Structure 1
Amino acid sequence: MPRLRLCLLALVLLTFGTPAHSAQQWLNLPPTPTLPKAAKSGFAPVNGIKIWYAVFGRGEPVLLLHGGLANANYWGHQVRALQQHYRVIVMDSRGHGRSSRDAQPYGYDLMASDVLALMDHLGIKKAAIVGWSDGAIIGLDIAMHHPERISKLFAFAANSDPSGVADIAKSDVFNAFIARAGEEYKRLSPTPTEYKAFVDQITKMWESQPHWTEADLANIHVPTWIVDADHDEAIKRENTEFMAAHVPGAGLLIQPEVSHFSFLQDPQQFTDDVLHFLEHVPAH
């Protein structure tokens, strides 16, 4: 009888996996969510291009900035929760999603100026920013150069220097994201056949920017949390800790059991962290 029970247990584990394995959510890339119905959406004329945006809910403004190759839809889970308490704004970065681009090379300063121009278009003097990856870097750029426009910053999965980026070539999750982003680009972009060129141009930015020193980070006085995932495929932990150590008064948060796509893999945990930050960290 004990042997029969052991065999049955082995069969169950082979069929469903061990509890530890099934809990490895950082190895999965859940589907891209949809955005809920917006109170307002459209295209803003910004720096000679058209930036797509959408606005949800009411209250203090919170701007969500997505990562490289992605689009605003990736924030669908967070928008649904945050819109109950805040005026939530999402946008597609230049050349991403539904937004257009021009011949200017991609750069974080330029993309930060797009964000500020959209805020001007919407009549928003100051907002809290929640950024993921490139969106977090854009948030840090704004915090350095235009602190009067940002009340607080939740910077998830940023890097301060190209040397802080890990090799993601062998990451199944990251490669699945790049492939998915290509399909989404074909569906959403005004230039649907140019994904390869788009990736090549973004890669040049990643390879050369940003280059922030300790002194640059020390110039940030906006209330900031430097956040990353314990299984981030793309960002080296030492660079996350370096940024947190040199942004004055910054909080450091490492989210457990997730990767660079934390907000998809454990949206409740990610959103709870954002809400805690927005509700309990005093604004600038």
Structure 2
Amino acid sequence: MKKNFNPVILFLTISIFGIVNAQVKMNFKFDIPYGNNQDVGKFVEINGAKIYYEEYGKGEPLLLIHGNGADIHSMGNQIDYFKSKYRVIIADNRGQGKSELKTDSLTYTQIAKDWDGLVQFLELDSINIIGWSDGGIIALKMGINNKSKIKKIVAMGANLRPDTTAVNSWAPKSVRERDVEIMKKIAKGDRTQNLNLSHQLLGLLLNQPNISHKDLQKIKAPVLIIGGDRDIIKNEHFVEIFENLPKAQLCIMPGETHFTPASNPELFNEIVYRFLSKPFRRPDSNWTKWKR
């Protein structure tokens, strides 16, 4: 079965990214109906909300965490690739896909707690994590919280703060304009769409996260910070995150964007698998440290 994923809902169920697929061609056609697979899909109540998740493959557990306004299906390229190598576990984040919202103030902290709850429910001794966009932020927060034993983290297109020191200025400007439109509709009593959810998702982008360098120092697991050289996140911000992690590697992919996991999954998956499958190393070019 093949399903065409609508790029309009990728990272936000609003029109901001509706033109993305016209500029950056992304693949969302899979033989398996990821995100709507009745053979493997399950619900579990975590922190007062029903969370929907699916599992594929066997072996070492690997969590896949999707971006803002997306769902399980958006990471189908990663499920396809990694399910032959790992026990892939992927969920719809709170309020997205099939998972319940059950809050009027959605936070990355809450979503991270939900994921830690899922890890506990599944009785996973240790995990690896691949997070894309918001998923990368959530992965970092799980590392900071240290509630689950994490072997390695891959954070694709993540940021520490929502301002223009971290994010290219056109992004928050566009998000803010859309949020103003939504609030006007809500004020007029418009109930034709789930405007409250859209407002909360936009709030994540506009007001969160707020992760300090001190917070990053709490992450014990090796982290791969990865992004495109024309990402939503500024290149210098990727470097900032990398430089403030105890154990990290940095990859800024040439000629790539925020959407590489779907537009060039071959490149993305290969880089990520190399990081996950090989022992962590952080060599140094400083020959003055080398023993003679």
After TM superposition, the score normalised by the length of structure 2 is 0.76
Amino-acid identity (%)? 31
Cα shift readout 1:195-235 (whole Å, capped 9, x = no counterpart): 43322111222222222222121222211111111111x21
When residues 170 and 61 of structure 1 are mapped into structure 2, their CA distance, relative to the original with a 3 A threshold, is: closer
Equivalence for 1:14: none
Q: Distance in 2 between matches of 1:169 and 1:207?
A: 9
Alignment of 1:177-216 (within 5 A): 194-216=193-215
Shift of 1:251: 0.4
Q: Which amino acid aligns with 2:243?
A: A
Give the 5 Å matches for 1:81-230. Answer: 81-146=81-146, 148-163=148-163, 164-168=166-170, 194-230=193-229
- Aligned-residue Cα RMSD (Å) equals 2.6
Q: Which residue of 2 aligns with 1:251?
A: 249
SS in structure 2 at match of 1:40: coil
Distance 1:220 1:170 in 2: 28
The equivalent of 2:80 in structure 1 is: 80
Q: For residue 50 of structure 2, what is the aligned residue in structure 1?
A: 50
Letter in 2 for 1:254: I
The SS at the match of 2:140 is helix
Highest CA radius of gyration, 1 or 2? 1
For residues 162 and 88 of structure 2, the distance between their equivalents in structure 1, rounded to whole angstroms, comes to: 30
Residue 275 of structure 1 and its aligned partner are, at CA, apart by 1.0
Q: Within the alignment, does 1:231 sit opposite 2:233 as a pair? A: no
Structure 2 letter corresponding to 1:166: N
Question: Quick check: 2:227–2:252 contact (8 Å CA) kept in 1?
Answer: yes
Q: Secondary structure, in 3 states, of the residue corresponding to 2:80?
A: helix
Supply the distance in 2 between the matched residues of 1:154 and 1:70 (Cα, whole angstroms): 18
CA contact under 8 A between 2:28 and 2:74: conserved in structure 1? yes
Distance 2:170 2:149 in 1: 33
Of residues 268, 271, 274 in structure 2, which corresponds to 1:273?
271
Alignment CA distance shift 1:125-1:26 (3 Å): farther
Tell me how far 1:33 sits from its aligned partner: 3.7
Number of residue pairs matched by the alignment? 241
Q: Partner letter of residue 56 of structure 2?
A: F
Check the 8 A contact 1:33/1:75 in 2, yes or no: no
- Contiguous gaps of at least 5 residues in structure 1: 1-24, 179-191
Q: Structure 1 CA distance, aligned partners of 2:31 and 2:149?
A: 26
- Deviation (angstroms), 1:170: 10
CA pair 113-147 structure 1, distance change in 2 beyond 3 A: closer
2:272 counterpart letter in structure 1: V
Q: How big is each residue's C-alpha offset from its partner over 1:137-172, in whole Å with a ceiling of 9 and x where there is no partner?
A: 00000101116421110000000011212234599x
Change (3 A) 1:30 1:126: same
Q: Report the Cα offset of residue 62 of structure 1.
A: 0.3
Does the CA contact (< 8 Å) of 1:147 and 1:221 recur in 2?
no
Q: How far has the Cα of 1:40 moved from its partner?
A: 2.8
User: What is the alpha-carbon distance in structure 2 between the residues aligned to residue 35 and residue 53 of structure 1?
Assistant: 18
Name the SS of the counterpart of 2:257 in structure 1: coil
Q: CA deviation at 1:250?
A: 0.9
Deviation readout 1:23-74 (Å, 9 max, x if unpaired) = xx99314243447366732111111111110000000000000000111101
Contact 2:28 2:77 in 1 (8 A): no
Kindly state the Cα deviation for residue 117 of structure 1 after the two structures are TM-superposed.
Answer: 1.0
- Structure number with the higher helix fraction is 1
After superposition, the Cα gap between the structure-2 partners of 1:86 and 1:26, relative to the gap in structure 1 and judged at 3 Å, is farther
Determine if contact 1:36/1:79 at 8 Å carries over to the other structure: no
